[in-house]
Amino acid sequence: MLLTDSALTEALAQVKLAIFDVDGVLTDGRLYYDNQGNEFKAFHAHDGHGMKQLQQAGIPIAIITARHSHLVAKRMSDLGITYVFQGARDKGTVYQHLITELAIQDQNVCYVGDDLLDLPVMMRCGLAISVPSAYDAVKDRAHYITHAAAGAGAAREVCDLILSAQGKLEALITQYLR
CATH number at residue 121: 3.40.50.1000
Residue 178 confidence (pLDDT): 79
- Identify the domain containing residue 9 by its residue range: 5-177
Query: How many structural domains comprise the chain?
Result: 1
* DSSP assigned state of 136: H
DSSP character string of 88-127: -S-HHHHHHHHHHHHT--GGGEEEEE-SGGGHHHHTTSSE
Please give the Cα distance from 8 to 171 (Å, whole number). 21
Residue 1 confidence (pLDDT): 81
Q: Give Cα separations from 113 to 7, 23, 37, 143, 176 (angstroms).
A: 20, 9, 26, 11, 31
Of 90, 48, 99, nearest to 72 by C-alpha is: 48
- Residue-wise pLDDT tens for the chain (178 aa)? 899 999 999 999 999 999 999 999 999 999 889 999 888 899 999 999 999 999 999 999 999 999 999 999 999 999 999 999 999 999 999 999 999 999 999 999 999 999 999 999 999 999 999 999 999 999 999 999 999 999 999 999 999 999 999 999 999 898 888 7
